[in-house]
Amino acid sequence: MNYDVVLTCAVTGAGDTVGKSPHVLVTPKAIAESAIEAAQARASVVHLHARDPETGQGSRDPKLFKEIVDRVRDSDTDVVINMTAGMGGDWVPDPRNPAMPGAGTDMIGPEERLAHIKECLPDICSLDCGTLNFSDTDMIYISTPPTLRRMASLVQEWGVKPELEVFDLGHIRFAKAMIDEGLIDAPPMFQLCLGIPWGADQTVETMAAMKAQLPPGASWASFGIGRGQMPMAAAAVALGGNIRVGLEDNIYLERGVMATNAQLVTRAREITERMGGRLLTPQETRNKLQLRGV
């Protein structure tokens, strides 16, 4: 059981959720405002994506990220900033020639994948630790070992803590290799990502199996998606981990009721407190995770 819980709110993501809920945010101003509301509801960390204000699709434009981060930092609300570094690894084979990229492909190198991280220097950025069939379509998310090692080296140089996002046991195995190679500073920080097609399933047994493979001294959190979000949050707290909720992973508060980020944070806080735990403040989170400047 974890009695001192770091709660991350994943504010908007980059998935195809715009139009499915009026609360999914698109503009930098709206994303920042929702992040601030989540922090005021007691989220310790906000995990940030940017979207193209014209199309609503996920964007890796550093200017959009900079506006979001500046708005959050200029507010009176303290919160740890965690930014995605998962954009730029999408490969969709051309149906006429699978050796060539098709529509929807967005493949770039490690430096460009981290351009917005270098621009904003958040406390934390995600590092997706492997390749995955990320949907039931032909789209593959590609993160090769050389790309990941280069990204880990760069964020280590900049003092940004990598959140090692792992979608199956092989990803944990590679993350531990990077730790052994000195590319990840102690204590390592893992996010066990459950329920994403076609990675690890969102079950207590899967979470426990993944937790068992983490290196000694690792900090870890986990999340589920859709209806599994709150059950997986409760399981993570019970198994000694931290938690993540938010509209990136789930747009419902309950059946038929659309959620806001602040409502999801409040629900997760209530679950944690009823289990006997408490949410850490942003400063306590910085201390626990040994973030830059602590």
Question: What is the pLDDT at residue 89?
Answer: 94
How far apart are alpha carbons 51 and 35 in whole angstroms?
A: 14
CATH topology of domain 4-289: TIM Barrel (3.20.20)
pLDDT, tens digit, 9 for 90 and up, residues 47-79: 999 999 999 999 999 999 999 999 999 998 999
Q: Three-class SS string for 15-68?
A: CCCECCECCCCCCHHHHHHHHHHHHHCCCCEEEECEECCCCCCEECCHHHHHHH
Would you kindly state where each structural domain of the chain is located, as residue ranges? 4-289
- Quick one: tokens of 256? 């038929």
Question: What is the pLDDT at residue 35?
Answer: 98
pLDDT, tens digit, 9 for 90 and up, residues 4-28: 999 999 999 888 888 888 888 899 9
pLDDT, tens digit, 9 for 90 and up, residues 220-246: 999 999 999 999 999 999 999 999 999
154 close to 168: Cβ distance less than 8 angstroms = no
Share of residues in the chain with pLDDT > 70 (%): 99
Query: What is the pLDDT averaged over residues 94-120?
Result: 96
How far apart are alpha carbons 11 and 9 in whole angstroms?
A: 6
Question: What is the pLDDT at residue 293?
Answer: 60
Q: Residue 42: name the closest of 80, 74, 2, 73 by CA.
A: 80
Query: What is the pLDDT averaged over residues 149-172?
Result: 98
How far apart are alpha carbons 269 and 119 in whole angstroms?
A: 32
Q: Is the pLDDT of residue 294 over 60?
A: no
Share of residues in the chain with pLDDT > 90 (%): 93
DSSP code of residue 181: T
Q: Is the pLDDT of residue 217 over 60?
A: yes
Question: What is the pLDDT at residue 21?
Answer: 87
